[in-house]
């Protein structure tokens, strides 16, 4: 049913946003469709399954009046991961003009630091603990045995929720995403098909309340007719907010907090020859 997913980030200037994520943060540009869409791969998350290789895939899209303005904070966001020491990576990114908005914070899961993109959309860099990395097959040494430059090596979407038990039940049992990790009521990770890992995080006064709409939202691809998917989800109690047909069949569903999730039917949009040629290129 669900074959993959990504985060959509509404931006004011597509060129500036593409430069920020690819040149300043060093993420990988995979596709660009003129001034309509830029796809950027942040890499696989540690919290995904070994088989899936899912992590964080960003879709940068010009802002429209259908959604809050770029930089609007909501209950959906994303985080970036690294297996390298955080401080050298911060120094490297700062030299490229990245604006960090907090000090480095040490906690039981490692270290993190907040930053804003060109539009003020907030994210963070997370250096995971040595205990976590000891179980990972990743290495910070390049193929020729020398130490490489520090880099972002993965990422995940974030959804702030009001109740962790209900959230885990909704995303893992109702939507059917594999639960890959849960740490009490502090955080839980699910894998939403190819490319996307979602971190469920309890709300706090530091963040927008669950259900708050912002400039970042989750989108999921479905590999069967969207009407069939919607009927199946509705039978499980999923709320369907909006839907449209036409050039691209899509529907917005909501979790129990009202966080929106856009569903898009694969292959529903009629593509130009140029777009087909780009899509035919391997993205990994």
Find the CATH number of the domain harbouring 262. 3.10.180.10
Judge whether residue 278 has pLDDT over 90: no
- Asked if the structure places residue 99 within a domain, the reply is yes
Judge whether residue 128 has pLDDT over 80: yes
Judge whether residue 137 has pLDDT over 50: no
pLDDT at 130: 62
Judge whether residue 147 has pLDDT over 80: no
Q: How confident is the model at residue 133 (pLDDT cuts 50, 70, 90)?
A: low
Q: Which of 208, 213, 249 is nearest to 228 (CA)?
A: 249
Report yes or no: 161 and 167 within 8 Å, Cβ to Cβ: yes
Judge whether residue 126 has pLDDT over 80: yes
Q: What is the tally of structural domains in the chain?
A: 1
E strands in 184-237: 187-191, 197-202, 216-222
Which pair of structure tokens corresponds to residue 266?
């694969």
Average pLDDT of the residues in 131-148: 45
- Asked if the structure places residue 133 within a domain, the reply is yes
SS3 278: helix
- Asked if the structure places residue 145 within a domain, the reply is no
Judge whether residue 269 has pLDDT over 80: no
- Asked if the structure places residue 142 within a domain, the reply is no
Q: How much is the CA Rg of the chain, to the nearest whole Å?
A: 18
- Asked if the structure places residue 102 within a domain, the reply is yes
3-39 pLDDT, tens digit each? 899 999 999 999 999 999 999 999 999 999 999 999 9
Q: Which domain holds residue 180?
A: 2-137+150-279
Judge whether residue 282 has pLDDT over 90: no
Q: What is the pTM of this model?
A: 0.86
- Asked if the structure places residue 143 within a domain, the reply is no
Query: Cα–Cα distance between 259 and 76 in angstroms, integer?
Result: 7
- Asked if the structure places residue 194 within a domain, the reply is yes
57-83 pLDDT, tens digit each? 999 999 999 889 999 999 999 999 998
Average pLDDT of the residues in 170-188: 94
Any idea which residue has 């994210």 for tokens? 123
- Asked if the structure places residue 178 within a domain, the reply is yes
């Amino acid at each position: 049913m669900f074959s993959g997913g990504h985060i959509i980030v509404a931006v004011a200037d597509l060129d500036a946003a593409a430069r920020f994520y690819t040149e300043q943060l060093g993420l990988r540009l995979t596709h660009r469709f003129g001034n309509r869409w830029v796809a950027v791969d942040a890499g696989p998350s540690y919290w995904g399954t070994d088989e899936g290789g899912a992590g964080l895939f960003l879709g940068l899209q010009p802002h429209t009046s259908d959604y809050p303005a770029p930089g609007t904070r909501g209950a959906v966001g994303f985080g970036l991961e690294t297996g390298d020491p955080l401080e050298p990576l911060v120094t490297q990114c700062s030299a490229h003009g990245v604006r960090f908005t907090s000090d480095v914070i040490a906690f039981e899961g490692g270290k993190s630091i907040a930053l804003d993109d060109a539009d003020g959309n907030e994210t963070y860099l997370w250096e995971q603990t040595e205990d976590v990395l000891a179980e990972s097959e990743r290495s910070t040494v390049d193929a020729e045995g020398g130490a490489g430059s520090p880099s972002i090596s993965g990422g995940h979407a974030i959804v702030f929720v009001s109740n962790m038990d209900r959230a885990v039940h909704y995303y893992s049992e109702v939507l059917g995403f594999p639960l890959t990790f849960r740490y009490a009521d502090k955080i839980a990770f699910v894998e939403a098909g190819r490319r996307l890992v979602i971190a469920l995080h309890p709300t706090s006064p530091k963040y927008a309340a669950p259900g708050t709409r912002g400039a970042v939202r989750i989108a999921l691809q479905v590999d069967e007719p969207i009407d069939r998917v919607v009927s199946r989800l509705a039978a499980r109690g999923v709320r369907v907010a909006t839907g449209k047909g036409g050039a691209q069949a899509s529907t917005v569903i909501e979790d129990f907090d009202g966080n929106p999730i856009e569903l898009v039917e694969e292959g529903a949009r009629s593509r130009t020859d140029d777009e087909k040629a780009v899509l035919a290129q391997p993205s990994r």
